[in-house]
Amino acid sequence: MDPTLDRTFAALADPTRRAILSLLLEDDMAVTDVAEPFEMSLAAVSKHLMILSRAGLISQEKRGRVKWCKLEPDAMRAASTWMKGFGQFKELDFDAFERFLEEEDLS
């Protein structure tokens, strides 16, 4: 497997990180604004942001004293392309999909 794809799926596996990406769909946000809706410390949110950044799903930029987060939608293109490969089936059998992933992991 492609390590970039692995990082993307690992980042997307966490519900907090998916929620952060949903927030960033609207617009760029300051880190403190991203952290506001979550009942966790700013340091915990920063760790989630670091994982998203390493996966290339977001970028962070310092503007003055404020660190801003921006969604990088093109970063999900490889994951989307990979998932579309399974669109050939009329209805996705998630049990078979899970078995496939386990077999791929063993090889």
Whether the predicted pLDDT of 88 surpasses 70: no
Over residues 3-34, the pLDDT tens digits come to: 888 999 999 999 999 999 999 999 999 999 99
Mean pLDDT of 102-106: 72
Owning domain of residue 22: 3-106
Alpha carbon distance 14, 36 (integer Å) = 18
Query: What per-residue confidence (pLDDT) applies to 89?
Result: 55
Q: What is the CATH number of the domain that holds 12?
A: 1.10.10.10
Q: Residue 83: which pLDDT band, with cuts at 50, 70 and 90?
A: confident
Look at the chain and report how many structural domains it folds into.
1
What secondary structure does DSSP assign to 7-63, as a single string? HHHHHHTSHHHHHHHHHHHH--EEHHHHHTTSSS-HHHHHHHHHHHHHTTSEEEEEE
